[in-house]
């Protein structure tokens, strides 16, 4: 239960596909005073690095996860003691004096299951033998650590550390990580937290006093990387000196899981059509000079108009549900210095070409700067990926959920076309739709592509009076 007067900072959900977040760097430390809007940490999602701000004013009572840790969405990563809230309430019952709670035996304050896991003391063992009762045995493996609280006035830690020579060392996860980083043997450190729990400040003091050095953990690149559940291929054995090997970034590993899941779960099929965009390209320079329209903008605008005629292409299938989106939330695949990301232009069906160009330009700039907001990454209902600027003749994309279609746009290349029994030179752009066969069939995809091609081949019809 959340304690009164305490604000729980949780790992935010920064995109609809985000399940885990990585703490890049804390900008505060335990004991710091923070105000509303102050930056607490930099957090990385599967799409971008964002600043995590405090929504309340108070003191950073505990940091539960250290720099570099990956945390599930919604899990508490820090605790803030709210301004003006004193430590009157005890960890156990509301209104109980703190001193009384602190003097209670640990068995009286801990859950029954916790007591059952704890090794028996000598006195307990003697008493049990006299009664002929069996004592609960200590676990053969250490129970999984749960985060506790390191600041006086917060709840009692839910469990202590694994036994160390008959005694338990209570230490917060962040303090444990800090001890490893600073080479401090925390078993020799006296804790000042609740019940003698070791906090980060205790480790800092011990490091300054030259506490015994513990062996540091090996660097990340030297540790064995556990295979993720979606990796079904055998590991690549690399001989010494054959290659440089390092841990993949959090974003790359997340992207790998997403594309594997998409291919495994969604039955893909592909439909390709070639559009002769010679007439559209004849107006390209005029539109670029007028209000900055690029080929990507023109294709995006044409897709939105075609989706108005084929709303089913803008629907999603999810666990037995058909989601009929009320708006076209256009996903634009953007190449950024940190890798591929998808920026979402919301309610694109309401925009004129001029408005679409202005909003999409700003959106892409923010994506490349790593400054996309949560709504600008949320629920793309139709996704476009354009490699036309690289001279690509044709490619097949992977569906980007919840989109049921991801459209691949290739280069417009000179091609010989037959029209009215004569050969003409046109500019053919191949459009390939990767479709979710659970909700879209081949005929529906073909009709959509046919109308999209007609719009791109008839710029007067597409642009109207623009």
Integer angstrom CA distances of residue 320 from 204, 226, 275, 323: 53, 33, 35, 10
341's enclosing H/E stretch is: strand 339-345
Measured CA to CA, the distance from residue 224 to residue 245 in angstroms comes to 11
Question: Do residues 15 and 378 lie in contact, with contact meaning Cβ atoms separated by under 8 Å?
Answer: yes
Question: Do residues 316 and 402 lie in contact, with contact meaning Cβ atoms separated by under 8 Å?
Answer: yes
Residues 6+ apart with CB under 8 A from 104: 92
* 432 strand-pairing partners: 272, 408
Question: Do residues 44 and 28 lie in contact, with contact meaning Cβ atoms separated by under 8 Å?
Answer: no
Integer angstrom CA distances of residue 384 from 50, 59, 280, 361, 405: 24, 45, 19, 15, 9
Question: Do residues 363 and 384 lie in contact, with contact meaning Cβ atoms separated by under 8 Å?
Answer: no
Closest CA to 253 of 4, 14, 22: 22
Residues 6+ apart with CB under 8 A from 235: 227
Torsion from C-alpha of 238, 242, 244, 250, nearest 10 degrees: -30
**DSSP state at residue 213:** B
Instruction: Catalytic residue, from 264, 310, 424, 437: name it.
Output: 437
Question: Do residues 66 and 178 lie in contact, with contact meaning Cβ atoms separated by under 8 Å?
Answer: yes
Residues 6+ apart with CB under 8 A from 92: 101, 104, 109, 156
Residue 399 has φ and ψ, to the nearest 5°, of -65, 135
With 0-12 / 13-18 / 19 or more C-beta atoms within 10 angstroms meaning exposed / middle / buried, residue 22 is buried
Residues 6+ apart with CB under 8 A from 148: 155, 156, 157, 158, 159, 170, 172, 197
Measured CA to CA, the distance from residue 138 to residue 119 in angstroms comes to 5
Measured CA to CA, the distance from residue 312 to residue 439 in angstroms comes to 9
Q: Would you call 424 a catalytic residue per the annotation?
A: no
Question: Is the Cα torsion angle 309, 315, 321, 326 positive or negative in sign?
Answer: negative
Measured CA to CA, the distance from residue 316 to residue 435 in angstroms comes to 11
Measured CA to CA, the distance from residue 399 to residue 396 in angstroms comes to 10
Catalytic residues: 437
């Amino acid at each position: 239960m959340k304690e009164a007067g305490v604000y729980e900072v949780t790992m935010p959900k920064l995109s609809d596909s985000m399940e885990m977040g990585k703490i890049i760097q804390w900008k505060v430390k335990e004991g710091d005073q923070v105000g509303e809007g102050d930056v607490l940490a930099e957090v990385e999602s599967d799409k971008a690095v964002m600043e995590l701000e405090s929504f309340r004013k108070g003191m950073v009572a505990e940091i539960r996860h250290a720099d570099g840790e990956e945390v599930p969405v919604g899990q508490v990563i820090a605790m803030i003691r709210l301004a003006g809230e004193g430590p009157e309430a005890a960890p156990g019952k509301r209104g109980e004096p703190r001193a009384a709670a602190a003097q209670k035996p640990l068995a009286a304050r801990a859950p029954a299951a916790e007591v059952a896991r704890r090794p028996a003391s000598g006195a307990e063992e003697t008493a049990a033998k006299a009664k002929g009762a069996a004592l609960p045995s200590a676990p053969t493996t250490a129970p999984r650590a749960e985060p506790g609280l390191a600041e006086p006035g917060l709840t009692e830690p839910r469990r202590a550390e694994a036994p160390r020579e008959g005694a338990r060392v209570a230490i917060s996860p962040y303090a444990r990580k800090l001890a490893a980083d600073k080479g401090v043997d925390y078993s020799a450190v006296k804790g000042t937290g609740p019940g003698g729990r070791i906090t980060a400040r205790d480790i800092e003091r011990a490091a300054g006093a030259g506490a015994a050095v513990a062996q540091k953990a090996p660097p990340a690149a030297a540790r064995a990387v556990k295979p993720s559940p979606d990796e079904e291929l055998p590991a690549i054995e690399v001989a010494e000196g054959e290659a440089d090997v390092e841990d993949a970034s959090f974003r790359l590993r997340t992207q790998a899981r997403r594309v594997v899941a998409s291919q495994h779960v969604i039955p893909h099929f592909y439909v390709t059509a070639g559009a002769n965009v010679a007439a559209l390209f004849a107006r390209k320079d005029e539109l670029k000079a007028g209000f900055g329209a690029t080929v990507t903008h023109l294709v995006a605008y044409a897709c939105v108009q075609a989706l108005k005629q084929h709303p089913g292409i803008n629907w999603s299938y999810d666990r037995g549900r058909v989601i009929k989106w009320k708006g076209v939330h256009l996903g634009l695949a953007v190449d950024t210095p940190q890798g591929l990301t998808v920026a979402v232009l919301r309610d694109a069906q309401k925009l004129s070409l001029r408005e679409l160009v202005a909003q999409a330009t700003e959106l892409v700039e923010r994506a490349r700067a790593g400054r996309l907001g949560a709504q600008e990454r949320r629920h793309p209902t139709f996704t476009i990926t354009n490699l036309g600027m690289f001279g690509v003749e044709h490619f097949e994309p992977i569906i980007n959920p919840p989109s049921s279609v991801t459209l691949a746009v290739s280069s417009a290349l000179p091609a010989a076309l037959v029209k009215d029994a004569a050969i003409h030179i046109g500019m053919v752009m191949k459009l390939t739709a990767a479709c979710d066969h659970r909700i879209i069939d081949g005929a529906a995809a073909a009709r959509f592509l046919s109308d999209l091609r007609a719009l791109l081949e008839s710029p007067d019809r597409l642009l109207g009076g623009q």
